[in-house]
Structure 1
Amino acid sequence: MKKILGLVLTSSVLIYASLGHTAESKKAILAGGCFWCMESDFEKLPGVTNVISGFTGGKIKNPTYNGDHTGHYEAVEITYDPTLVSYQAILDHYWVNIDPFDAKGQFCDKGPSYLSAIFVANEQERKLAEATKSAVKAEFPDQTVVTPILNTSTFYPIKGKESYHQDYYKNNPIRYNTYRWRCGRDSRLDEIWGDRTTH
Structure 2
Amino acid sequence: DLSSNSNLSSIWCEDLTKLQTFSLYSTSNLSTVTLTNLAVRSVTITNSKLSSIFLSNLQYLTSLDLSSNPLLTRSILLNELPNVLTLDLSNCQFDSFPEEYLILQSLTTLKLNNNKLTSLPLTISDDLSNLKYIYLERNQFTHLPQPPLVHVKELYMTDNLLTNLNGISGYKSLEKLVLNYNLIGSIPVEIVGISNTLMSLTMTNNPLKHVANQFANMRRMQLLDA
TM-score (norm 1): 0.25
> Between Structure 1 and Structure 2, whose CA radius of gyration is higher?
2
Higher relative contact order (CA 8 A, sep 6+): 1
